[in-house]
Amino acid sequence: MPYGFGMREPPRALAYGVAVLATAASLFVRWPLWPVLGDAVPHMTFFPAVVVGAYFGGFWPGLLATILSAVAANYFLTQQLRSFHFSVNDLTAAILFVLVGTIVSGLSESLHRARRRIVAHERQRAEAQLELARVNRITTMGQLTASIAHEVNQPIGAVVANANAALRWLDARPPVLDEAREAIDSIVKEGNRAGQVVGRISALVKKTPPQQDPLDVNDIVLEVIALMRSEMLRNRISLQTQLAKSLPLVQGDRIQLQQVMLNLIINAVEVMGKIDERELLIRTGTDAANDVMVEVRDTGPGPKPDSLERLFDAFYTTKPGGMGMGLAICRSIVEAHGGRISATANLPQGAVFRFTLPAQPA
């Protein structure tokens, strides 16, 4: 497997550099052996260089190593040292050598191609997985919400029934205080039961603590952009990025922060659906406190001025079929990372969502 499957393809210049170095190294090893070996099979000395060049860089670096080796062998390692006067045998050997080198390089190139295909496939799989995780999360959230609603509805129903009963006992002439007290006792009990249900659920959620990895927010932004690129193309959205050259690292959970970016970008794409000017600007930087700042600006219709406070509330939605959970999730993730998220109007039109995350202490 050339250069290890799953690793990155080496930069082209490096691949050619390796081919040249490997050839030079072969000559360097063979040269002092001249008194012992003479001009015996000079080309074979260079075969490792061809293999290294082709293995590392594919066809062209392999071919470069082959040609350099053939020239070096015929110049340095034939009877007429350091000259290009060589016998027919030497020439035949050189031609054969170039032929074999070309074949080896070609074979290695097909391995390189296969590796590139596998890497692309892996990338697609990772993207699909992220999307699946997103859908999963939404589905799980839907199920969780339904079961919370069920568990909490029962005690709340009982609270309302008992409160009505208590009112009736108090309204009676004369009021029946014992019965009213009993009804109010039940209200307290049922209220506590609802509290326990909610407490159990929060304990469950807290059981999976978020990761605490050092993260470069620019990477997260780029990963999510890569994920959304085709969606943005399909929606004819022109994307601009202004990413700070070097950002302090933040500490947190990569998947959760990707989720925040994903939600903000999906929202921006959705709201710009019916607008002619579809521009998305994503900026990163640091604020006055040296916290890392990410901004997502769109040219959509913008948030309604009186809704700015409520955008991040769970279940607040203006979309038909919307869940109103996206921004609520963003806020809880950002705040769990010690940061803040806010929305303002973009000028002349659109929305700006900005969040900050504390920089990791140096």
> Which residues in this chain contact ligand ADP in the complex, by CB under 6 A?
263, 267-268, 271, 298, 300, 302-303, 311, 316-319, 322-328, 351
E strands, 28-175, where?
none
Smallest gap from Cβ 22 to ligand ADP, in A, equals 55
Is the Cβ of residue 271 or residue 293 nearer to ligand ADP in the bound state? 271
Pairing of strands 351-357, 292-298: antiparallel
The b-or-e profile of 183-203 (16+ CB within 10 A means b, else e) is bbebbeebeebbeebeeeeee
What's the CA gap between 80 and 261, in Å, rounded?
68
Is the Cβ of residue 22 or residue 280 nearer to ligand ADP in the bound state? 280
Is the Cβ of residue 214 or residue 322 nearer to ligand ADP in the bound state? 322
Smallest gap from Cβ 227 to ligand ADP, in A, equals 17
What's the CA gap between 269 and 243, in Å, rounded?
20
Asked if residues 352 and 345 have their Cβ atoms less than 8 Å apart, the reply is yes
Smallest gap from Cβ 350 to ligand ADP, in A, equals 7
Is the Cβ of residue 178 or residue 306 nearer to ligand ADP in the bound state? 306
The encoded tokens of residue 12 equal 């082209």
Asked if residues 2 and 58 have their Cβ atoms less than 8 Å apart, the reply is yes
Asked if residues 30 and 75 have their Cβ atoms less than 8 Å apart, the reply is no
Smallest gap from Cβ 173 to ligand ADP, in A, equals 51
Is the Cβ of residue 222 or residue 323 nearer to ligand ADP in the bound state? 323
Smallest gap from Cβ 315 to ligand ADP, in A, equals 8
Is the Cβ of residue 62 or residue 300 nearer to ligand ADP in the bound state? 300
β-partners of residue 242 are 283
Q: What φ, ψ does residue 276 adopt, rounded to 5°?
A: -75, -50
- One-letter amino acid for residue 99 of the chain: L
Smallest gap from Cβ 354 to ligand ADP, in A, equals 12
For residue 78, give the nearest of 37, 114, 18 by alpha carbon.
Answer: 37
Smallest gap from Cβ 318 to ligand ADP, in A, equals 3
The encoded tokens of residue 29 equal 């090893």
Is the Cβ of residue 80 or residue 140 nearer to ligand ADP in the bound state? 140
The closest residue (CB) to ligand ADP is: 326
The encoded tokens of residue 245 equal 């050259």
Please enumerate in sequence order all residues whose Cβ is within 8 A of that of 193, keeping only pairs 6 or more positions apart, or say none.
Answer: 155
